Structures are given as structure tokens and as C-alpha cells.
Amino acid sequence: MKKIVSLFSVLIMFVSIHCGGNVSDDKTVLVSVPNDPTVSFRVWFKVGSQNDPPGKEGLANITASMLTDAATKQNSYEQILDKLYPLAASYSASTSVEMTVITGRTHKDNLKEYFPLYTQAILEPAFKQNDLDRIKSQVSNYLENVLRYASDEELGKAVLYNEIFAGTPYGHIDAGLIESVKSINLDDVRSFYQEHYTKDNFVVGVGGGFEDALVRQLKDQLAVLPAGKTNKVLPPAPKSINGMEVVIVEKDAAATALSMGFPIDILRGSKEWYALAIANSWLGEHRNSSSHLYQVIREERGLNYGDYSYIENFPNGGRRNMPPQNVSRRQQIFEIWIRPVPNDARHFALRAALREFKALVENGMTQENFDLTRHFLKKYVLHYAPTTMERLGYALDDRFYNIDGSHLGKFRKMMDEITLADVNAAIKKHWQYGNMKIVIITNEAAKMKDALVNNTPSPINYTSPKPDNILAEDKEIISFPLDIKQESVKIVPVAELFMK
């Protein structure tokens, strides 16, 4: 009979591989999968939007795009597209607040043709004006049009992060600010590249069916980058939140998107984090009907499409089912995401979400929910990284967080070790109900503000009959007090967001 190998042991195996071998060191992360017919690359530069100079917000993101979506000294951008085309291979850059990763993947058959294109993108960018114009136009369109008008869900989260981290290096989204992006020129890009893309500032990640020689070749080539340490940015110190601080973004919206949260001082790797992850999963596992908020707001009441919560940054939640990689950061927030609800149910939905969160903070988890959730997570995390590229991403994040072993391996192990008491202690220590930023994307902002500060009851009308227990609970939700002060509510027209 075939030996049964669980995916867990496979994860462990990866860890042992990337720690051993003569090509490994503290600047190399390897995920060897010998029978994978493809090779995955992730070269991580320790730079992100936190390094954007004031007035040049968006420069880290644009510089990274000038490597991967633009000409090199050897090839025009058109020539690069021509050469990559038959390979069905590509490379791209992702910039988050602390990490920039140049990602690429090719079939082994095409490695010889692909590899020089990938390394030239990192090492020999041409920095041409017409490429910069095109990339700036893309970013400006995203900020001015897409984010403000076509994606209220991402808009709500972007405003939440900007509000919580205002005045810190985390205080603007990765795409930057509209006026700053306009001001970015080739000199800015060149000097940012020279300062941050140095041989002291990267970690090489290679995964799949590669040979050691390939890793050596990649590292030798990257060694030509100039020396230079980036000025270290201190972790952000977000201002304390006093009570419920509300930002209403006013726009002609047919439905209301809600995001809310506060900073938390805990990062993956510690036992407490995994304890808090159990509570968070029960409250709001992303895109999963096991989420309690989902059950209360969507499943029982049909008010929207989904309701989730997070203890780590989770960009583009509408487009992905599983957590992203390489958006690691030293300061996380707790976040609740309520997908668009009808405008006339906005106050009710906000109350329903906060009421559930308050109950969890005050009462902790029950034994039954705790057991269900830890069993769930123990297997569910297997789906976090099914591909080599994703495992490589996690392995880099392990390096970011200095995790001994692997986060996913530890996650599973902790599900057997953590007790209900651990979870409830973590909730008490890291979550609180009273001080929170709330972002509401909606129309008729003044009316919403009035209702909030006056604690106006928010009755709810359903199109279908509801069981008695739901109706009884609704009575409590309708008048659930939120304690929002007049001076703690700010109304911002959407057209004024992300300007400068």
C-alpha cells in the first residue's frame, strides 16, 4: 500500500530543505519540489510604501513597476513582451508597506530563455520616461477612479488603514496619493532604486524543480548590486483611538460598505497569536460560512453577501479566498469587514456587527465553538498554500517574522496545544470594544451622522418571515447603544480622498 504522506509532513519537509544544503544562508529561502515542472522565483527587497519620501507617496510601488512593467537596458518593454510571450511566463512586482517582491514563474523547459529576462528586470532597468508616464497613468486611474468609485469595499478598507495610521510611515496606501504620484519623476525613481535595491537589502526565494546551480547563479548575479543599508524605519506608533471615531465617506452609493478596527500589538509566530486566530476565525473566517458574523448578518438575515474579520492585513479580500503572502508588517490591526448592505439597513448592520464583537470580547468563546474552530483551522490552513509559489511566499514571510520552522506548520501544531483559557486570555489582552475607528461608505452622510450620535433606533424590514428568536434578537440590535459623540464623526466627500 502506498505510504500516506500528509500535507503537514510535506510542509515540514520543505522547512528542513530550506534550512539545509550548501546554497542556503540567511539571504536565501528555498522550497524544493523536485517533481514540479516549473520554477518559481520571489526576490524580496526590504522596502515598501513606508519608505516613500514625504510628498512622493507611491514611489516604492512605481519604482517596483518600473522594473517589471518597463524596459531594461537590453530590451524595450515591447521586446520583453515578445520574448516572454511564447514562454507563457511572466514576472511582476508587488509592493506592500514593508516588502517589495519581484515574482516570476516559468516552466523548466523555458528556464534558459526566461532567466536572463527576469534578472535583467531587477538589475538593469532602463528607467525610460514613456514607461514612467504609462505606469503613472495606471496608478492615477486606480486612485482617482477605480478605488473611489468602482470598489466601495476596497475603498472602505483603504480609508480605515489611512485613518488608523495617519501621521506614521504606514499612513498612506501602497498606491500613494494622487498629487504625489503626479509629481514623481525619473530622478525620484532612480534615486529610490539606488538607495533601496542594494545587495544588503534582499532575500532570494526559489521554489519548484530547480537545481542548486540556478540558485548560485541568481545569487551571483544579484551580488553586483551596490552595497548600502536602507535607513531603518521604526515600527509605526498609531495614535490612540478615543471611543468610537467615525469617518463617513459621502458618495452617491446604492449600498453601504462598512469597515472598522483598531491596532493590535501581536504578530504571527507567538502562541498568543494562534490563540487569537482561533477567536478571529470563529468570529469572521474570510469568505467562509463558518464565520459567525456571516451567520448573523448574511445567513440569518440576508442583509449582504458576507461579513468577516481579520488580525492580519488582507488586501483585495473581494478577489481572493485565502490569505495573501508577502504583505507582512510589524504593526497589524484587527478589522471587521461588512460587505455592502442596503442603505436603509446600514445602521442596523453596524449595530449587529459591533454587538457580536462586544459579546465575544466580554464573554469569550464557548468550549463548543473553540473545539469546532480549532479542528477546522487545523485542516483549513492546508488550503492556504497549495502551490509552490504560495509556499515560497509563506517561507519568505517566515523569514520576515523570524519564525523558527514554518508558520503553517506551527499553526497546525498550535491547534492541538492551545486551550480555551489561552484563547479567552488572548481576547482579553488584545481586543477591546470601546475604542475603534469606523469607516462608512454611504450616501446621505449627515443623516447617518445624526442617527449615530443620537443612537436613533434602526428598525429593520425583511422581505421574508423570520423565526421568533431572530426577531427577539433584532429588538436588542435595533436599539443597541453605540456611544458615538458628535465631535467624533467626520464626513468626507469621496472626491477629496487620497489627494495629498
Q: According to CB under 8 A, which residues from 147 to 186 bind another protein?
A: 148-153
CA distance 451 to 326: 40
In whole angstroms, the minimum distance from the beta carbon of 405 to another protein comes to 19
- Among positions 462, 472, 485, 490, the unique one binding another protein when judged by CB under 8 A: 462
Task: Please report how close the Cβ of residue 375 comes to another protein at its closest, in angstroms.
Answer: 5
Q: Note whether 39 binds another protein by CB under 8 A.
A: no
Facing residues of 39 across strands?
106, 208
Candidate residues 9, 366, 479, 486; the one interacting with another protein per rule CB under 8 A: 9
Enumerate residues 324-353 that contact another protein by CB under 8 A.
339-342
Q: Applying CB under 8 A, which part among 91-99, 213-221, 368-376, 402-410 lies near another protein?
A: 368-376
- Nearer Cβ to another protein (264/377): 377
- Interface with another protein includes 319 (CB under 8 A)? no
Cross-sheet strand order for the sheet of 332-342: 307-310, 332-342, 255-264, 436-442, 244-250, 489-493
When the beta carbons of 164 and 350 are compared against another protein, the nearer one is 350
SS (H, E, C) the chain: CCCCCCHHHHHHHHHHHHHCCCCCCCCEEEEECCCCCEEEEEEEECCCHHHCCCCCCCHHHHHHHHHHCCCECCCCHHHHHHHHHHHCCEEEEEECCCCEEEEEEEEHHHHHHHHHHHHHHHHCECCCHHHHHHHHHHHHHHHHHHHHHHCHHHHHHHHHHHHHCCCCCCCCCCCCCHHHHHHCCHHHHHHHHHHHCCCCCEEEEEEECCCHHHHHHHHHHHCCCCCCCCCCCCCCCCCCCCCEEEEEEECCCCEEEEEEEEEECCCCCCHHHHHHHHHHHHHHCCCCCCCHHHHHHHHCCCCCCCEEEECCCCCCCCCCCCCCCCCCCCCEEEEEEEEEEEHHHHHHHHHHHHHHHHHHHHHCCCHHHHHHHHHHHHHHHHHHCCCHHHHHHHHHHHHHCCCCCCHHHHHHHHHHHCCHHHHHHHHHHHCCCCCEEEEEEECCHHHHHHHHHCCCCCCCCCCCCCCHHHHHHHHHHHCCCCCCCHHHEEEEEHHHCCCC
Among residues 22, 240, 465, 468, the one that binds another protein under rule CB under 8 A: 465
289 binds another protein per the rule CB under 8 A: yes
Restricting to residues 177-236, name those near another protein by CB under 8 A.
Answer: none
Closer of 124 and 299 to another protein (Cβ): 299
Q: Does 36 bind another protein (CB under 8 A)?
A: yes
Residue 297: CB atoms within 10 A of its CB come to: 25
- Which segment (23-31, 51-59, 136-144, 353-361) binds another protein by CB under 8 A? 136-144
CB of 271 to another protein, least distance (A): 20
Q: How far apart are CA 297 and CA 350, in angstroms?
A: 10
The least CB distance from residue 113 to another protein, in Å, is: 11
Binding mask 382-421 for another protein (x = CB under 8 A): xx--xxx---------------------------------
Please identify, using beta-carbon distances, which residue of 376 and 401 lies nearer to another protein.
376
Nearer to another protein, 23 or 278 (CB): 278
User: By CB under 8 A, is residue 302 in contact with another protein?
Assistant: yes
Instruction: Sketch the per residue contact string, 101 through 120, with another protein: x for CB under 8 A, - otherwise.
Output: ----xxx-xx----------
Question: Which of 20, 37, 55, 167 is the binder for another protein (CB under 8 A)?
Answer: 37
Given 271, 319, 375, 485, the residue binding another protein (CB under 8 A): 375
C-beta atoms surrounding 447 within 10 Å: 14
Distance CA 311, CA 267 (A): 9
Place of cell 474579520: 309
Query: Which span (18-26, 211-219, 297-305, 393-401) binds another protein, by CB under 8 A?
Result: 297-305
Determine the interface stretch with another protein among 49-57, 118-126, 461-469, 483-491 (rule: CB under 8 A): 461-469
Smallest distance, another protein to C-beta of residue 252, A = 6
Are 482 and 244 spatial neighbours (Cβ–Cβ below 8 Å)?
yes
| Interacting span for another protein (CB under 8 A) from 60-68, 85-93, 185-193, 446-454 | 85-93
Q: Which is nearer to another protein, 275 or 497 (CB)?
A: 497
Cell readout for 51 is 519608505
Please tell me whether residue 301 binds another protein under the rule CB under 8 A.
yes
Q: Pick one of 16, 20, 82, 471: the residue that binds another protein (CB under 8 A).
A: 82
Contact 314, 298 (CB under 8 A): no
| Total residues interacting with another protein, rule: CB under 8 A | 83
Q: 233 or 478, CB closer to another protein?
A: 478
Measured from the CB atom, the residue of 150 and 224 that comes closer to another protein is 150
Rounded least distance, CB 26 to another protein, Å:
29
468 near another protein (CB under 8 A): no
| Interaction of residue 89 with another protein, rule CB under 8 A | yes
Nearer to another protein (CB atom), residue 32 or residue 488:
32
Taking the complex as a whole, the smallest distance from the CB of residue 274 to another protein amounts, in Å, to 15
